[in-house]
Amino acid sequence: MTIETISTHRAHGGTQGVYSHSSAITGTPMTFSVFVPDHAPGARLPVLWYLSGLTCTHANVTEKGEYRAACARHGVIFVAPDTSPRGEDVPDAADEYDFGQGAGFYVDATQDPWAKNYRMRSYLERELPEVIGTQFPADMARQSITGHSMGGHGALTIGLRNPDRFRSISAFAPIVAPGEVPWGEKALGRYLGEDRAAWREYDAVALIEDRFAQEGARHPHLLIDQGAADDFLVEQLRTHRLAEACQAASIDATIRLQAGYDHSYYFISTFMAEHVEWHARWLG
Amino acid sequence: MTIETISTHRAHGGTQGVYSHSSAITGTPMTFSVFVPDHAPGARLPVLWYLSGLTCTHANVTEKGEYRAACARHGVIFVAPDTSPRGEDVPDAADEYDFGQGAGFYVDATQDPWAKNYRMRSYLERELPEVIGTQFPADMARQSITGHSMGGHGALTIGLRNPDRFRSISAFAPIVAPGEVPWGEKALGRYLGEDRAAWREYDAVALIEDRFAQEGARHPHLLIDQGAADDFLVEQLRTHRLAEACQAASIDATIRLQAGYDHSYYFISTFMAEHVEWHARWLG
C-alpha cells in the first residue's frame, strides 16, 4: 500500500496534507486530505472523519472548514475523503450535480454501469481506514465521524452501521431520510435499483427504525446542527424525521436548529470547532 | 452613494456580506466583502481593513481567512476590498499575474494607460472609507489595517502614511521594500514611471527612512508575521529590510519569523485570530 503526497502545508501547528492512492475497491485513484497536529514522537492520535456534500471534493472543507485550530488544540487527526470515484473511465451523469461523479452517496452501487466504481461504502468502511491506520500516526481504536448534507447522510449511516468503530457521530445539515426525498430517491434508485428494501441500510431514519425494532441498537453520542434558513431543509433534509426516529427509539440525540444559518460553509465553519471539541470529549 | 448587496450569509454570530458599488475614483464597479458581528442597536464597531495579495479578490480571505470567529468575539468589523479595478474596459496585462487586474499594488498610477482606473490608493484612503462609514455600523474613529503579501505592502504603506487614521498596522508576509525587488520594480515602474523618487510613498522601508529623516514619524503598533518556508521570502519579501529600517528609526515593531510556514492561506489563517485580537486591543 503506497500513497502519493500531492501537497503539504504547515498550518495551525500541524501539517495539512493532500494525498492520493490507487483504490482497489473503486478501481480509481482516490484523493483525500489529512490534517495531523504536531505530536510527541511515537504518539498516536484519534481520528475524526469528515464526509463532504454534493459537488464537493476533499478541497472544500480543507479550505473553508475552519477545523484545524480546534483539531490542533485537541490533538485530533482530521480526514476528508472525496465524494465519489472520479476519472474519464468512470461512468458519470455530467449534467446532473446530484448524481454520478461528486455524488457517490456513500453506497455500494449494485446497478450497472455504477456498480463497478461507485463503492464508497466499502471504500470508507474498509479500505481508507487501513490507509489512514498504516500511513499516518492514527489510533484507529479512537474514531469519530461527521459530515455535511450528503456527507451528513454518509456520517450518520456509516456511524449507525458501525457503532463499535465510532465513538461519536455528528452532522451538519444532513439528509436524514434519503429514501423519502428527491435527492435520495434519485440516487438510491439508480445506484441500488427500485427495490426500496435495499435502500434502508443507506437511510439514517430507516436504520434507526429497523435496528430498534430488531435489537434496540442505537448510538449514544449523536449531535446534529441544522440551519433554520437552509433552502434545502423542507424538501431534502427534513431534520424533524431524525428527531422523530430518535424519540421513538429513545435515542438521546442533540438536534439543534440554528436560526439564520443556511446550507453553506459559512454555517459549517461556524459550528465546526464546537463539533471537534464535542468529538474530542468522546475520543479521550 | 448606493451599494448593491451581492450576497449575505449568517456566520459566526454575525453577517458576512459581499457588496458592489460604482467607484467614482476607479471609474468601475468595485466589489468588497464586510463581516459585521451582531451588536446592540445603534452601536458602532471598530473596523479592521484587510488588503489582499496578487491575483486575489475579496473572496480569498473571505473563504479561507478564518477571521470571523475572532472578529465576532472582539466586536470588530472586517473589510476586504478587491486588489484592483476590473472590467473589460480596464487596461490589463492578461498574461502577467503580477501586473494589471488583480495587481493594483495600492498606488495611484500616473502613467498611461493605467492612470485612469488604477487608483487604489485614493480608493482606499478616501472613497471606500466613506462607503463603510455611511453604509455599515462602523466607528470610523477606530480603524486598523492588515494585509497579505502585496496587500501587506498596501497595509504598511497606507498605514504609515496615515498614522492618525489607523491605531495599529499588521501584515502577513508583506512586500516591505517594493522599490528593491522584482515584483515592485516592475509594478511601480509601469504604474508610476521610471523616476524612483515617486516610488518612495509606496515603499514601507522608504517611508520609514524618509519620514524618520524628516520628522521622526513612525507608528507605535506594528506587527509582522512571516513564514520562514515562504518561497518568496528571499527574492520578493525581504523582511529583514523592514527590521533594519525599524531599528534605525527606533520603531518598536514586532517582526516574527514563523518556522515551517509558507506564503499560503494555511499560514495566514493560522495567525489571523492572533492579529485580530492584537488589533482589538488598540481598537478598544
CA–CA gap between residue B185 and residue B176 (Å, rounded): 12
- Please give, rounded to a whole number of angstroms, the shortest distance from the CA of B10 to a CA of chain A: 5
Active site residue A89: no
DSSP track, B125-177: IIIHHHHHHHHSSEEEEEEEEEEBTHHHHHHHHHHHH-TTTEEEEEEES----
- B-chain CB neighbours of A225 within 8 Å are none
Q: Packing angle between helix B204-215 and helix B150-161, nearest 10 degrees?
A: 20
Check CB contact under 8 Å for B10 and A262.
yes
- Nearest chain A alpha carbon to B35: A266
Does residue A211 carry a pLDDT above 80? Answer: no
- A-chain CB neighbours of B270 within 8 Å are 10-13, 68-69
pLDDT of A220 reads 83
Residue whose C-alpha cell reads 484545524 in the numeric block: A68
Check CB contact under 8 Å for B16 and A64.
no
Written as tens digits, the pLDDT of chain B (284 aa) is 799 999 999 999 999 999 999 999 999 999 999 999 999 999 999 999 999 999 999 999 999 999 999 999 999 999 999 999 999 999 999 899 999 999 999 999 999 999 999 999 999 999 999 999 999 999 999 999 999 999 999 999 999 999 999 999 999 999 999 999 999 999 999 999 999 999 999 999 999 988 655 554 567 899 999 999 999 999 999 999 999 999 988 898 999 999 999 999 999 999 999 999 999 999 98
CA–CA gap between residue B155 and residue B141 (Å, rounded): 17
pLDDT of A1 reads 76
- Nearest chain B alpha carbon to A261: B10
pLDDT of B80 reads 98
pLDDT of B260 reads 97
Break chain A into its structural domains and give their ranges: 4-283
Active-site choice (B149, B168, B203, B279) = B149
End-to-end Cα spacing for chain B? 29
Active site residue A58: no
C-alpha cell at B83: 486588489
pLDDT in tens, A95-132: 999 999 999 999 999 999 999 999 999 999 999 999 99
- B-chain CB neighbours of A264 within 8 Å are 9
- Nearest chain B alpha carbon to A63: B64
Does residue A215 carry a pLDDT above 70? Answer: no
Q: Which amino acid is at A180?
A: E
CB atoms within 10 A of CB B284: 9
Lowest-pLDDT choice from A71-75, A248-252, A254-258: A248-252
Check CB contact under 8 Å for A9 and B270.
no
Q: Which amino acid is at A107?
A: V
Check CB contact under 8 Å for B265 and A63.
yes
Q: What whole-number percentage of chain A has pLDDT above 70?
A: 97
CA–CA gap between residue B220 and residue B253 (Å, rounded): 8
> What CATH number is given for B4-283 in this structure?
3.40.50.1820
User: Do residues A82 and A120 make contact, with C-beta atoms less than 8 angstroms apart?
Assistant: no
Active site residue B262: no
Residue of B35, B266, B272, B277 best to disrupt the A interface, most CBs of A under 10 A = B266
CA–CA gap between residue A280 and residue A116 (Å, rounded): 36
Residues recorded for chain B? 284
- Verify cis geometry, omega within 30 degrees of 0, for the bond prior to A113: yes
pLDDT of B219 reads 78
Residue of A270, A271, A272, A275 best to disrupt the B interface, most CBs of B under 10 A = A270
Check CB contact under 8 Å for B9 and A266.
yes
The verdict on ipTM greater than 0.90 is: yes
Handedness of CA A243, A245, A246, A248 (dihedral sign): positive
- B-chain CB neighbours of A70 within 8 Å are none
Does residue A274 carry a pLDDT above 80? Answer: yes
